Amino acid sequence: MIEKTSRRSFLSATVASFAWLIVGDRASAQPANLAGTSCKVKGRERTVDGVTFICRNAKGKLVWRRKPGTAQEKITTVRALESADLELGKTKVVEVPAPNGGTTGLVLTRTEAGITALRVNCTHAGFPVARVGKVLECELHGSQFEPATGAVVTGPAVRPLTRYDATESNGGIYVTITSK
């Protein structure tokens, strides 16, 4: 009798342990929500990490959906290069993490006036530029840009290269990049 009882309690304890292992976490989890806010009121909006979501009815259920056309600009500051690696008058192209993920190319140039940080992509059709003599040149169609400002020297590009804020501190060059 004692043996039967202990076998039964062992079995029920084992089953309970397995059940806890399988559903324990989910049973105590909060319902799917967004930044701690359940989607209960149709039309309600929440902005998380620069993106606005709206509570919408989808197939009879209220769910968070990204609100079209509301992506906000993301800004990040990265240590792009060590100061010692960029001599006066020189240009370097570096890859850095982009605000929206992935990487982006920067053209860094040191002049008497300081550091200029430009987006590496030509404003004509996006091909990367490179330093050729005194200019930044896009070899796809021949546009040229001024390294210290990004201004167009020769077309077909008509817009200057995108310029970012660059500062120097603690032996490094920091660039503030925007997602737009």
Round to whole Å and give the CA distance between 78 and 164.
11
Three-class secondary structure of residue 12 per DSSP: helix
Shortest separation between residue 33's beta carbon and ligand FES, angstroms? 45
Q: Which is nearer to ligand FES, 89 or 155 (CB)?
A: 155
As measured in angstroms, the least distance from the Cβ of 120 to ligand FES is: 11
Using the contact rule CB under 6 A, the part of the chain among 2-10, 48-56, 133-141, 162-170 near ligand FES is 133-141
CB < 8 Å & 24+ apart, contacts of 94-101: 96/175, 96/177, 98/177, 98/179, 99/74, 99/75, 99/177, 99/178, 99/179, 100/74, 100/179
122 belongs to the binding site for ligand FES (CB under 6 A): yes
Among residues 157, 166, 175, 177, the one that binds ligand FES under rule CB under 6 A: 157
Shortest spacing between CB 22 and ligand FES, in angstroms:
56
Residue 118: closest CA among 157, 156, 84: 157
Binding of residue 143 to ligand FES (CB under 6 A)? yes
Asked if residue 133 lies in contact with residue 162, where contact means CB atoms within 8 angstroms, the answer is: no
Tokens 């799917």 sit on residue = 32
How many residues bind ligand FES (CB under 6 A)? The answer is: 11
Which of these ranges, 56-64, 97-105, 111-119, 120-128, lies near ligand FES under the rule CB under 6 A?
A: 120-128
Q: Applying CB under 6 A, which residues contact ligand FES?
A: 122, 124-125, 127, 138, 140-143, 156-157
